[in-house]
Structure 1
Amino acid sequence: MFESRKPVNTMASDGKLHIVLFPWLAFGHMIPFLELAKRIAKRGHKISFLSTPRNIERLPKLPLNLAPTIALVKLPLPAVDGLPENAEATSDVPTEKVHFLKKAFDGLEPGLTQFLQTSNPDWIIYDFAPYWLPPIAAKLGISRGFFNAVNAWFLAFLGPSTNMIDGSDPRTKLEDYIVPPKWVPSDSNLAHRYYEIKWIVESAQNITADVLDTYRLGSAIIGCEVLATRDCEEFEPDWLKILQELNKRTVLPVGLMPPSVQDSLDTNDPWVSIKGWLDGQTKGSVVYVGLGSELALNQETLTELALGIFEKNQVGVEIPRDDGDGSLRKNSVADSVQLVMTQDKGRIYRDKARGMRGLFGDKIRHEQYIDNFVEHLQNHRQIDKR
């Protein structure tokens, strides 16, 4: 029911851990999970990275020095009515069909269970989707970690995991989500824009899901023994504390895991050519437009974005949108870019960005977070089954 590129052993005789990583079927999840896998493997531990065949084949190539310690295990994705053929990731399907992918993902349960039974790992680190996994791992005596591939504030904004499961979230109206929730710091402005929460609610109403995402996430958190998040104390100390208080679980930041081109010797890697092109450009001459890997803009929005960039050819930040429908206009694009890059009142943004550069690029600091996380895994694995 599963296929591995190399044999997977049980607990090594030298005391090293065997850790299974099981991400959700989206490359925005799989890639951070793979980065975490590589960093743990660098410390000599055995990794089994589980996903579906097409996703395994589309992952970035492993560094040659880590290939012997990371097993890429293929779990065949069951066919589901409504899911297009060969669709194995969210990038393969439109938003309105992602719930079919989740239904197919739930069909991985038997294959995953068999793998866990035969490979006898020390830990399994999983994503939000497999709400059914924690009880299985607990029954097999396998320690359980939940990995949040984004910042701590995201989970903290959602509230206690118990609320996600029993539906007791006090926020019941759209208007409740456009103000900060009561459990966040009083000086925080963390809230949805109206068009954001409107889109979320309308999208949910158009989809008949067997299991709600909030239930999946809440079950994943409640079933874990440690909650790891892609964050660091220097960046979000308050949110890390809130996340732990809300969920009554040990919360461990694993650092920001800044990528390294040197991790791969593959000259065909797209990033190698992209970086080469960037290195050849004049400083301050390139505009980066961050839209997300799967966002589909309509033609009007795309045109307004392009016109705004061309009108003020500088580097931009988040751009104000219409609060009702989320649309943007070229003037708002141009004004935002000009504010941050040229005007005196935008100096605070420029200074902040320079200050963050040192933190985000401090690989030694972020490697220490991985050391602390791995030490926790070593000290808290279940040993009664050995």
Structure 2
Amino acid sequence: MLQLPFINFLKNSQVTWIIQDFASYWLPSAAAQLGVNTVYFSIVNATTCSFFGSPADLINGRFQKAEDLTMVPQWINFNSNIKFKLHDIMRGQQECKDSVSDLYRYGTVLKDCRAVIVRSCPEFEPEAFTVFSKLLQKPVLPVSLLPPSMQDYTVADSKWQVLKDWLDTKKERSVVYVALGTLLTLSQELMHELAYGLEKSGFPFIWVINKRPLVEGKMGSDLVPHGFEDRVSGQGLIWMDWAPQLRILAHSSVGGFLTHSGWSSVIEALGLGRPLIMLTGGSDTGLVARMMHRRVGLEIERDDKDGSFTSERVAKSIRQVLVEKEGEPLRANAWAMRETFGNMELRNKYLEEFNRFIENNTAANRSI
């Protein structure tokens, strides 16, 4: 329903470039007929982009069955374990109800757009940028990891003060921050396993639980075991409200982030040097978790088919990442990642290069 009114708008506008996502797959070709260039902005990294192959692979339905997505593609010519697990795919299929698949939309946009910009940089994944550029045969430009700036981060002072006062009482790098984003939906049984795992770990934790119904008919406190909050009152803080994630991660008492593995959350954590304990939450998060596993954190071991896990596995992963000897290189690597993931100079450099690309190509178009 957006297509016709938007094209009519373009006909009477001075727009020369459009930066878009994958959903409006009809836009690049329609805009090109009006002399307007489109740039696809990938909010995920180049390794994830490379996994799905060329535009032709996506449009022609190379991935016909779930098992096709559970293998590292042959065109990934660098050392990588990036692939989906069946439980990642099954969740995605249940959520997708559109007559036009996301992969078809994505492939069509990649085929018809003028250029692609990626929320990542070669300093982090040089081989992936090379592969993705070869697959597309068009400009692929990094715009850095776009780390958020604390100075630009607004927060309700009263809410942050409560959290800060609690964090101030804890030892340095001892707290597990738990936030599963908006994509990850766990059954009540698995929510309880997660709760028991946090308790068994013995580490203090802040657990952000959204008020949205994660399980049908269940809200908020219904998702944790009966009596859990009282039992862990000296160990953990259950926070059923919006949380200032960046400020929490920046606090010196936070030692690790139990995350759904969303790319934005990973960027925030590694920009501050925090190692990861990972659960996947649909979309690209399984690929992100495979890429980061045993590099800057650990993915909690789960059943490949149904995604189930035990409280013991949760507790074990937390202990390994936060304090055990096995986690020393993970903690060191995560701390070192600040130089790339939190680098504002790198961000400014790549944004300036993208700006020059737009200016140069706009000038070229006008001269033709």
Q: Deviations over 1:113-140 (max 9, x none)?
A: 2332232112101110111111221111
* Corresponding residue for residue 91 of structure 2: 199
Normalised TM-score (structure 2): 0.68
**Cα distance in 2, alignment partners of residues 188 and 346 from structure 1:** 20
The within-5 A match list for 1:229-244 is: 229-244=118-133
The 5-angstrom pairing of residues 97-246 of structure 1 reads 107-167=1-61, 169=62, 171-185=63-77, 187-201=79-93, 203-204=95-96, 207=97, 209-246=98-135
Report the AA paired with residue 155 of structure 1: C
Distance change (3 Å), C-alpha of 1:270 and 1:295? farther
Alpha carbons 1:228, 1:253 under 8 Å: kept:
yes
The 2-side partners of 1:233 and 1:187 are apart by: 16
Aligned ranges 1:254-265 → 2 under 5 Å: 254-263=143-152
Aligned partner of 1:177: which letter? L
Change (3 A) 1:313 1:361: farther
Amino acid at match of 2:118: T
The AA in structure 2 aligned to 1:160 is: S
Q: Which residue of 1 aligns with 2:294?
A: none
Aligned counterparts of 2:169 and 2:10: Cα–Cα separation in 1 = 49
Query: Contact between 2:174 and 2:322, CA under 8 Å: does it hold in 1?
Result: no
Structure 1 residue ranges without an equivalent (≥5): 1-106
Q: Report the equivalent of 1:63.
A: none
- Cα distance in 2 for partners of 1:131, 1:300 equals 39
Residue aligned with 1:252, SS: strand
Deviation at 1:263, TM superposition (A): 2.2
277 and 147 in structure 1: CA distance in 2 versus 1, 3 angstrom threshold: farther
Q: For residue 383 of structure 1, what is the amino acid of its counterpart? A: N
Deviations 1:292-319 (Å, cap 9, x if unpaired)? 3232221111111111112114435121
The answer as to 2:311 corresponding to 1:330 is yes
Question: Does the alignment pair 1:371 with 2:352?
Answer: yes
**Whole-angstrom distance in 1 between the partners of 2:39 and 2:158:** 32
Measured after TM superposition, the shift of residue 202 of structure 1 is: 5.2
Q: Matches of 1:185 and 1:281 in 2, distance apart?
A: 48
Q: In the alignment, which residue of structure 1 is the partner of 2:191?
A: 302
Give the conservation status (yes or no) of the 8 Å contact 2:55–2:110. Answer: yes
SS of residue in 2 equivalent to 1:228: strand
Per the alignment, residue 383 of structure 1 pairs with: 365
Q: 1:279 to 1:256 in 2, by over 3 A?
A: farther
Q: Is 2:28–2:37's contact at 8 Å kept on the other side of the alignment?
A: no
Task: Name the residue aligned to 1:284.
Answer: 173
1:251–1:277 distance in 2 versus 1, CA, 3 Å: farther
User: Which of 334, 345, 355 is the matching residue for 1:353?
Assistant: 334
For each residue in 1:330-374, what CA deviation from the matched residue of structure 2 results, as whole angstroms up to 9, or x when unmatched?
A: 000011111122211211111111111221111111111111111
Q: Is the CA contact (8 Å cut-off) linking 1:152 and 1:231 kept in structure 2?
A: yes
Q: Residues 345 and 222 (structure 1 numbering): CA distance in 2 closer, same or farther, change over 3 Å? A: same
State the distance in 1 between where 2:166 and 2:147 align: 18
SS class of match (2:337): helix
Q: Which amino acid aligns with 2:84?
A: H
- Structure 2: gaps of 5 or more residues: 204-255, 259-276, 279-299
Greater RCO, CA 8 A, separation 6+:
2
CA separation in 1, counterparts of 2:72 and 2:162? Answer: 39
Correspondence for 2:227: none
1:253 and 2:142 correspond: yes
CA shift for structure 1 position 262: 1.8
Shift of 1:271: 8.9
Which residues in structure 2 correspond to 1:12-23 (within 5 Å)?
none
Q: How many residues align?
A: 274
TM-score calculated relative to the size of structure 1? 0.65
Query: SS state of the match for residue 333, structure 1?
Result: helix
Identity %: 34
Contact 1:141 1:385 in 2 (8 A): no
